[in-house]
Structure 1
Amino acid sequence: MRPILSPSKACNAEKRWTLSDFDIGKPLGRGKFGHVYLAREKRSNHVVALKVLFKTQLKQSQVEHQLRREVEIQSHLRHPNILRLYGYFYDQSRVYLILEYAAKGELYKELQKCNYFNERRAATGEVKIADFGWSVHTFNRRRTMCGTLDYLPPEMVESSEHDANVDIWSLGVLCYEFLYGVPPFEAKEHSDTYRRILKVDLRFPLKPVVSSAAKDLISQMLVKDASQRLPLVKVLEHPWIVQNADPSGIYRS
C-alpha cells in the first residue's frame, strides 16, 4: 500500500488536506488532548489513524510547542520501527495528524491486559515508536530532564549530562516491565523511586519465574555508569535475544 503523502510534501500537508478527504471509522483511543480514529483516505483508499487534537486543550496545557516539535521531527523520520506521520492539517478548532495505522494497538494496553509477557513474547514482536513531543534534533549531551519517571536513568535524575545511552537504560526498564508487569524501581513515593534509581536497587522477584539469561541482559543494561551499559549492537547479540527472537505482530509504543 503506497503512502498517501510523498516525503517532500509531508511538511506542506496543511495546504492539501481537509476532513472531507477522509471516511472516519471507529475510535481507536482517547487522550488528554483529543481522540484517535480509524480512517480511510478517499482518493487512495489508504487506511490510517487520524489523531484529532483540540486547540483549546493544547493551549490550556501549553503544549503547542511540543506538538510542533512532534510534527517537525516525526514527519521526517523513515524507519520500519517508527510510526509514520504522513501529514497534518487543521481547522479553526482542531489539529489533525495523519498517522500510520498499527493494527494491534498500544503495547502498554496489551501488557495491562496480560499482566506480563512470557519470555518469547517479551523478546520478540515488531514495535513502532510513536509520540515525539519530547524529542530533539541533536546528538549532543543534554541536561534536560523529561520522560516517564520510572524510566529515567540515574544521570537524568541527577540532572547530569546525558547522551544516547539513556535509551539503553530505558530498554532495560522496558524489558523488566515486560517480564514482571511492573517497572523495576517502582515505589509509592516519587522520592523513593528516585532513590532506588540512583542506587540501582535492582531486585528480581521469585514470581513470575524469569530465566537467568533474561536477568543477565537486564542487569547489563541497568548500569549506573552510562558508558558501561551494554551497547545496542551487543543487546541484539545477547543469547536471550538470539534464543527468543521470532518477530511477530506490530504494536505502537
Structure 2
Amino acid sequence: MPSAGVAAALLDKENVGVPAGKSMDGKLAGKRPLGDGADGGAAKLPRKSALQPLSANVLGVQQTAAGPAPPPSFSDNTKPGAMGPPPPRVATSSRPASGAEASGASRERSASGAAMVRRWQLTDFDIGKPLGRGKFGNVYLARERKSKFIVALKVLFKNQLQQSNVEHQLRREIEIQSHLRHPNILRLYGYFYDHTRVYLILEYAARGELYKELQRAGSFDERRTATYVASLAKALTYCHAKHVIHRDIKPENLLLGLNGDLKIADFGWSVHAPNSRRKTLCGTLDYLPPEMVEGNYHDAAVDVWSLGVLCYEFLYGQPPFEAAGHSETYKRILRVDLRFPPTPERSDGAKDLIKQLLVKDPKERLPLGQVLQHPWIQAHADPAVLARAT
C-alpha cells in the first residue's frame, strides 16, 4: 500500500488544465510498428502502445554531437569532488501534513541529522536539454544545484494522468521503484509536485536507450546478449525476492549506464504481490506470456518468459512470435510457435536457453538462478557480471 506521502502527490486537482490543442503524445508514433494488421484491416499498433503502460516517457539520452559530456562518475557519497545522490528531502504539498507524513518527515530528519528538511522544488535544479518525450510528459537532463549531482528529471502532467485514469499506477510505480536498490535497476531518488505537474528525480543513464542501440545494430552478438541476460536475471531475482513482479520487460524499458551496464527503467506495470498471483492483462503484446493471453492467474514466472523473448530479440533483432495482426500473434504465443531463422547464425547453447525460458507451463520455465548457471551464460557473459554478488 503506498504511503500517505506518495498517495498525496496526485490529489491536488487545482489548475490542471493545459492550453487547448496541446498534445503530449510526443514521439510514441516513432516506435517500431509491427506490420499491417490482419484484424479488420486496421494497422497494428506500435509495440509500445499495444497495451498502454503508464510510463510511456522515454528516459534515455538522445545523444548529439553538441550535447554535454557525460558526468565522470556516480557514487553514493557526497565527499568533496564526488557526485553523490541529491540530499534527502520530502515531497512538496500545499496542504497540512497528515500524521503519517509528519512521522515520515521526522524519521527523515533523524536519519539525515539535519535540523530541518527542505522540500524539493523546481528551483533546486538547473534544467538542461530534453532527453525524451512521452504521452504524459517530458524528461530533461538536470543538475541539483547544491550537490552538483546530475539526474534525469521526469516531468509528468497531472491533467494527462487524470484523463488516462492512471494516477494509481504512478503512485504504485513511485512506491515500488523508490525502494529498489540494485546496480541494474534505475534509481528513483525522490519526487515532488506542484499544481500542474509531478516531477520524478531519476538516475541519469548516460548512454541512453537500449532499444535504440538494438535498432542501430540490428541484433547483438552472443557475448553482449549473454551479459545483458545475466544482468537482468540478477535484477529480476532481486525484485522477486522483494515480491515485485515487473511484468513489462522489453528493450524500450531498458537503459544503459555510463559504463554500459543495463538498467531497468520503467516500473509502470510492476506490482508488489506477496501472494504472487495476479490476473491483470498488462504489458506489451509481443512479450505477453501464454497465461496472460488465456486470462489465467500469473505470477513471477511472467518475467522469466519475458527474459526469453528478450534474449531472442537481442540475438535475432525481432521478437519470436511477431505476426501481422494481434490474433495471429496471440495464436503463436499460445502454441509457443518458436522458430529460429538461419541468419544471423547462433549457437545451439543460445537456442537451448531460449527454449528453456519459453515454456508454456510457468512451473516448467527455467528458474532465474539456473539461468545464471546455464552453460551458454557461463561461457559468454562478462565474468565481472557473473562474479557480482547481486
TM-score range, shorter-chain basis?
Answer: over 0.9
Q: Distance in 2 between matches of 1:243 and 1:73?
A: 34
Q: Distance in 2 between matches of 1:208 and 1:115?
A: 10
Deviations 1:160-208 (A, max 9, x none): 1111111111000000000111100011111111100000000000111
Q: Find the counterpart in structure 2 of residue 171 from structure 1.
A: 307
Q: Find the counterpart in structure 1 of residue 226 from structure 2.
A: 123
Shift, 1:157, TM fit:
0.7
The one of 308, 312, 336 equivalent to 1:200 is 336
Q: Find the counterpart in structure 1 of residue 86 from structure 2.
A: 4
The 5 Å alignment of 1:96-245 reads 96-125=199-228, 126-140=261-275, 141-245=277-381
Aligned partner of 1:230: which letter? L
Q: Find the counterpart in structure 1 of residue 91 from structure 2.
A: 13
Q: Distance in 2 between matches of 1:5 and 1:148?
A: 36
Shift, 1:121, TM fit:
1.3
Aligned partner of 1:136: which letter? V
Shift, 1:103, TM fit:
1.0
Q: Find the counterpart in structure 1 of residue 382 from structure 2.
A: 246
Shift, 1:13, TM fit:
3.0
Q: Find the counterpart in structure 2 of residue 41 from structure 1.
A: 144
Aligned partner of 2:85: which letter? P
Q: Which shows bigger deviation, 140-149 or 166-175?
A: 140-149
The one of 190, 193, 201 equivalent to 1:90 is 193
Contact 1:139 1:164 in 2 (8 A): no
CA RMSD between the two structures: 1.6
Q: Distance in 2 between matches of 1:54 and 1:247?
A: 43
Runs (5+) with no aligned partner, structure 2: 1-74, 76-83, 94-118, 229-260, 386-390
Residue 219 of structure 2: SS of its match in structure 1? coil
Taking structure 2 as the reference length, the TM-score comes to 0.61
Shift, 1:248, TM fit:
8.7
Runs (5+) with no aligned partner, structure 1: none
Contact 1:5 1:87 in 2 (8 A): no
Residue 14 of structure 1: SS of its match in structure 2? coil
Q: Which has the larger radius of gyration?
A: 2
Aligned partner of 1:56: which letter? N
Contact 1:70 1:132 in 2 (8 A): yes
Deviations 1:134-157 (A, max 9, x none): 222213211111101111111111
Distance 1:247 1:45, change over 3 A: farther
Q: Does 1:71 align with 2:174?
A: yes
Contact 1:213 1:239 in 2 (8 A): yes
Q: Distance in 1 between matches of 2:283 and 2:299?
A: 14
Residue 159 of structure 2: SS of its match in structure 1? helix
Shift, 1:247, TM fit:
7.0
Shift, 1:72, TM fit:
1.3
Q: Distance in 1 between matches of 2:309 and 2:87?
A: 36
Aligned partner of 2:319: which letter? P
Between Structure 1 and Structure 2, the one with more strand by share is 1
Q: Which shows bigger deviation, 82-91 or 12-21?
A: 12-21
Contact 2:151 2:203 in 1 (8 A): yes
Contact 1:14 1:87 in 2 (8 A): no
The one of 138, 155, 172 equivalent to 1:52 is 155
